[in-house]
Amino acid sequence: MGGTAARGGRRHTVVVDLGFGDAGKGATVDRLCRSGGVAAVVRFNGGAQAAHNVVTSDGRHHTFAQFGSGTLRGVPTLLSRFTAVDPLALAAEADHLRALGVPDPYALIAVDREAPLTTPYHAAANRLREQARGEARHGSCGMGVGETARYALAHPGEAPTAGDCVSRPRLLRRLRLLRDRLTDELGPLAAPPLEACAEAYVAFARAVRLTGGTRLAELAARGPLVFEGAQGVLLDEWHGFHPFTTWSTTTFAHAETLLAEAGAAGEGLRLGVVRTYTTRHGPGPLVTEDPELAALLPEPHNGHGRWQGAFRVGHFDAVAHTYAVETCGGVDALAVTHLDAPRRCRGLRICRGYGIDGALVERLPPGPPGDLARQAELTGRMLRAAPALWDTPSSDPRLWSEAIGSLLGAPVMLESSGAARQRVRELRSMGKSKYVSGKVSEASV
């Protein structure tokens, strides 16, 4: 890990998915933690809806949601104030980690006191809103993470936080206010009684280490940090394809804020993760979608979700991924996953241009944050788009890796193969790609 993170003068590594999620962040973080020396994995966005799969060489499988994906390597986790914390889901995850041989999972996690709490009341409200949208559903996970952010923005200073769990009276006041407000707005909520929630949350506060803003600096002084992002840039709350987005900043921004506060500004290597094909859960634009790929590229850890909807598969979308890179302000390096796919599916291709309203579009320019009307207009264009310009780098994984690095303008630092067990290798060279575009066929636009 030390050599990996230090390359280019960067001490720490920030891992971000450049797609719609599910690109392989868990396997990437696990690989970065495997060789030892990592002081902590820091979660810097999202919440319990994250699903980062790690399968170890001895066959143990865990879907990481709130614990960092280095936990099976004994690397501790810090949940920052930008991460929504669900104590009930955390307890279930800790139970599974114990079953996998982690003796005391709670000893490996610390939580910022300012981290917002996701409660069953948020989850119930989240599901009621999604049901009310009918055919216009956004594809929510139904776990209340977005509702947590919504409520905190609407009622600053009154939303429950991890720090409130040390004071039962204050916690109960805030939970009661939360429940009553959401009930008044949406009707009865299918959620446990206040006392049961409060009891579980007080137990959570006793089990984990609650920390303040100095904890990150202390960890950074001990050694390299790996910042583990959730979801993907194409789902970003401000830059994703509205309204099919998350209530979370999925770019490098929060991680870099945390590094700056810890006195380590500019010390994070920006590592973008992509698959050799593009996927997404639920509704929203997926220009390169090809239903036939789903049968050829089975997905052992992703499937239809009750609230998210179907797991969808398409060819590699260089236009959308380049948009993600530009939205982030660039990446230092890439991790390319599922490099076995081109051999398993010889018809797999790279889309380099769309046809939209009779025009060829090879680039989507990012806009300023906060302009959701612009993002909704972009979503409309994406829903009318069709692939129009293709590359086919053959079935050779090396050519695919080089092609993706060339198209996204960054060297490939890590490669991995396999859907069930990601065999990850670190590249020794991060020189410029020598990829030359393969055969191109252009459809009518």
Residue 406 is assigned to a ligand binding site:
no
Q: Is 119 annotated as a binding residue?
A: no
C-alpha closest to that of 70 among 92, 87, 54 = 54
Cα separation, 66 vs 203, in Å, equals: 17
Given the residues 17, 22, 86, 236, the one annotated as active site: 22
Measured from the Cβ of residue 289, the count of other Cβ atoms closer than 10 Å reads 17
Q: How far is CA 353 from CA 73, 378, 444, in A?
A: 41, 15, 11
State yes or no: is 290 an active-site residue. Answer: no
CB of 445 closer than 8 Å to CB of 358? yes
The answer to whether 418 is a known ligand-binding residue is yes
Name the nearest CA neighbour of 253 among 274, 239, 263.
Answer: 239
Whole-number Å distance between alpha carbons of 62 and 30: 11
Is there a catalytic annotation at residue 22? Answer: yes
Q: H/E element holding 178?
A: helix 168-186
| Candidates 12, 17, 30, 52; catalytic one | 52
Is residue 66 part of an annotated ligand binding site?
no
Burial class (CB in 10 A: 0-12, 13-18, 19+), 65: buried
Q: Known binder of ligand: residue 69?
A: no
**To the nearest 10°, the Cα dihedral for 81, 84, 86, 91?**
-60
- To the question of whether residue 314 is assigned a binding role by annotation, the answer is no
Residue 417 counted as an annotated binding residue: yes
Spatial distance between the Cα atoms of 212 and 72, rounded to a whole number of angstroms: 25
Residues making up the binding site for IMP? 231, 246
Which parts are annotated binding residues? Answer: 22, 231, 246, 338-340, 416-418
The catalytic residues are 22, 52
Residues of each annotated binding site for GTP: 338-340, 416-418
List residues forming the annotated binding site for Mg(2+): 22
